Structure 1
Amino acid sequence: MEQPDTSLESAAQSKGYVRIAGVDEVGRGPLAGPVTAAAVVLDMTCLPPGLNDSKKLSAKKRAALAALLVDCAEVSVAEASVEEIDQLNILRASHLAMERAVAGLSPAPDYLLIDGNLIPKDLEIPAEAVVKGDGKSVSIAAASIVAKEARDLLMVDLAQQFPGYGWEKNAGYPSKQHRDALVELGVTPHHRRSFKPVHKILYQE
């Protein structure tokens, strides 16, 4: 199984960049909750073992790594709200969350490795987009872990306030339980109204 490594970071360092941040977002697909991004500057002398794409890790392993990263790396987490998702569209909102996460790092990084094929338009720091970056770069993998952990915890929290949708298990993704609950319980303030399954229920009358 391929593991992310430090080759992209080394290539950036060889060009003279010093503070290299990995950036990733999570939560484009859910019907509910914000989209969450993280920016992480790793200390290459203190890499937690087992860094990988957050989707390939068990929940327990992910939580343990997220805690380690907060201790031994510089971490910034940010989000774009459901209102912003509905207003802008999910792609732009996820880029906004990334821009906010990068802005939260102090001092600012001088180079960014960004998961995906697009660089958010308001970033003024030199950056490269890395397709499937969470499986290639340790910095992006670290950002994917931190972002997913932060968002999952938030959805568990929201599930207490709005029980029945299964957010503590599905994190707002359109599982069968979530879709059924939408029909039976209706739409909450945390649902993305621009997403088709939610939109349909709101405007089916």
Structure 2
Amino acid sequence: MKITESRIKGVFLFEPRVFEDERGYFYESYRESHFKEAGIDVHFVQDNVSKSQKDTIRGLHYQIIHPLDKFIQCLQGEVLDVAVDLRKDSPTFGNYVAFKLSEKNHHALFVPKGFAHGFSVLSDTAVISYKCSDYYHAEGERGLRWDDPLIRIHWDVARPILSEKDRKLPLFSSITEEDTF
């Protein structure tokens, strides 16, 4: 497994060794010791799966109460996976990184606590699986607008499809210090 820290400290791209032949492929999608070797101390307690259609944008979400580390993989299709740094003392506060995750490249992304997370669907459909280090708590849920003019994420979609909740998320400039890490 090749593990590379992104240009934003704490976000890691995982590239597994994939064994392919005429039958298909095999790869190890998660091994706790790989995280420890990379200096990531995390314990996952919940797995989630999401299926979405082309041009869907989900996010940007985070939990301020019971914050989550996430380990995201695309099992079917292709997505652009995005993490926005909300750690107020970080030199990259308000910056983001984005990686294409797909069933073809088998890459995964580790997004630590202190980040808003989202993705856009680049293929006809996509199935995402992600591990979380804590349980979902609605009272701590927060988010940022997908089209924030300060963050300027290029989602690579033609006509964005969003939930009503995601359309109403606040802009980065209006979040309070209590809603950052």
Q: TM-score range by the shorter chain?
A: under 0.3
Which of the pair is proportionally richer in strand? 2
Larger Rg: 1
TM-score with structure 1 length normalisation? 0.24
TM-score with structure 2 length normalisation? 0.26
